[in-house]
Copies of this chain bind each other. A is one copy, B any other.
Amino acid sequence: MDKARIVEVGPRDGLQNEKGVIPLATKVELVQRLAESGLSTIEAGAFVSPKWVPQMADTAAVLATLDLGGPVHYPVLVPNDWGLDAALEAGVREIAVFGAASEAFSQKNINATISESLKRFESVMHRAQQAGIRVRGYVSCVVGCPYEGEVAPRKVAEVAAELHAMGCYEVSLGDTIGVGTPRQVQAMLEAVMRTVPVERLAGHFHDTYGMAVANIHAAYAAGVRTFDASVAGLGGCPYAQGASGNVATEDVAYLLHGLGVETGIDLSRLVATAWFIADALGRAPASRVAHALGRPA
């Protein structure tokens, strides 16, 4: 039986983009429920400035409740050396860094060229490797950019190759504004796979235009076996009008199971988790599967 891995990004990429700040206890219960649903990698937070991202201010407190040496991986996003210090102190085994495939997005988002932004990670990468910590790399805007429009596959391939060469064990390719369709995703992946082995790639799709599941299927057909997703479709991109967030983990699991692919996920537990966090945020889950299977009795 074929296998695929879902990287749950709801507690970080999801909650970071939700308006409300949820209590620590709720966040801890969310992460626990996700682990109990069978997810083996759960992005648990970010060591970023609480001034800019108050939703992540309690990352150290969340990590303190987790078994960081156990079978489940809990990566955290780290933008700089200060973030790495905090991650090391918390005892994490994995961090994530990020770059964009669009110059305009990089400039507007972090006020640096793509090349400058990757250079800033050199010291983080070096220190993480010395400490035996795995590093995951994100590339944003791999299909389209809110400022530049279409992004050239060649550009994505360059940035992905650079992150891989710097030592990232996996490069996650993000359609940050969710504009891609399968044809563009295929073309982008063909370019990237010439520079990074497909086993080192992950697909990160947002469902803004309802294309995420089709894009994941296209990426799966191209050989990708790791997908980022966010329970209940948590989060969203602030740059796209009316944007919905990451593709929902339960929709991805439903797709993969329907394709005969093993994920290790217990779908009914996952759907219960989607309702749990949606209730905590005072809204309905953004996924079709959570509604189709319904609120747990």
**Interface residue ranges, A against B (CB under 8 Å):** 178, 180-184, 207-211, 213-214, 216-218, 240-244, 248, 251, 254-255, 258-260, 287-289, 291-294
Q: Is the Cβ of B241 less than 8 Å from the Cβ of A210?
A: no
| 12 CB < 8 A contacts A-B | A181-B254, A181-B259, A182-B255, A182-B258, A210-B254, A211-B258, A211-B288, A214-B216, A241-B293, A242-B292, A242-B294, A244-B288
Give bound CA distance, A251 to B181, whole Å. Answer: 11
Contacts of A241 in B (CB 8 A): 292-294
Q: Is the Cβ of A181 less than 8 Å from the Cβ of B242?
A: no
Contacts of A213 in B (CB 8 A): 210-211, 213-214
Task: Tell me the number of copies of this protein.
Answer: 2
Which of chain B's residues has its CB closest to A251's CB?
B210
Which of chain B's residues has its CB closest to A233's CB?
B210
Which of chain B's residues has its CB closest to A288's CB?
B210
Q: Is the Cβ of B258 less than 8 Å from the Cβ of A207?
A: no
Task: Beyond the given A241-B294, A242-B294, please list 6 additional residue pairs across the A-B interface where CB-CB is below 8 A.
Answer: A207-B288, A210-B248, A210-B289, A211-B288, A240-B292, A241-B293
Q: Please tell me which one of the listed residues B211, B243, B254, B259 contacts residue A255 in the complex, with CB atoms under 8 A apart.
A: B211
Give bound CA distance, A286 to B218, whole Å. Answer: 24
Q: Is the Cβ of A258 less than 8 Å from the Cβ of B291?
A: no
Q: Is the Cβ of A178 less than 8 Å from the Cβ of B244?
A: no
Q: Is the Cβ of A258 less than 8 Å from the Cβ of B178?
A: no
Query: In angstroms, how far is the closest chain B Cβ from the Cβ of A296?
Result: 12
The verdict on A178 contacting B208 (CB below 8 Å), with A183-B260, A214-B214 known, is: no
Which of chain B's residues has its CB closest to A284's CB?
B242
The verdict on A217 contacting B291 (CB below 8 Å), with A210-B251, A211-B255, A211-B258 known, is: no
Q: Please tell me which one of the listed residues B207, B243, B255 contacts residue A181 in the complex, with CB atoms under 8 A apart.
A: B255
Q: Is the Cβ of A210 less than 8 Å from the Cβ of B259?
A: no
Query: In angstroms, how far is the closest chain B Cβ from the Cβ of A3?
Result: 16
Which of chain B's residues has its CB closest to A217's CB?
B214
Give bound CA distance, A181 to B216, whole Å. Answer: 12
Give bound CA distance, A288 to B216, whole Å. Answer: 17
In the complex, the 3 A-B pairs of residues with the closest C-beta atoms, listed nearest first: A181-B258, A210-B288, A242-B291
Which of chain B's residues has its CB closest to A182's CB?
B217
Give bound CA distance, A141 to B180, whole Å. Answer: 30
Q: Is the Cβ of B208 less than 8 Å from the Cβ of A288?
A: yes
Contacts of A242 in B (CB 8 A): 291-294
Query: In angstroms, how far is the closest chain B Cβ from the Cβ of A64?
Result: 36
Give bound CA distance, A287 to B208, whole Å. Answer: 10
Which of chain B's residues has its CB closest to A220's CB?
B182
Give bound CA distance, A290 to B255, whole Å. Answer: 23
The verdict on A292 contacting B251 (CB below 8 Å), with A183-B260, A259-B181 known, is: no
Contacts of A210 in B (CB 8 A): 213, 248, 251, 254, 287-289
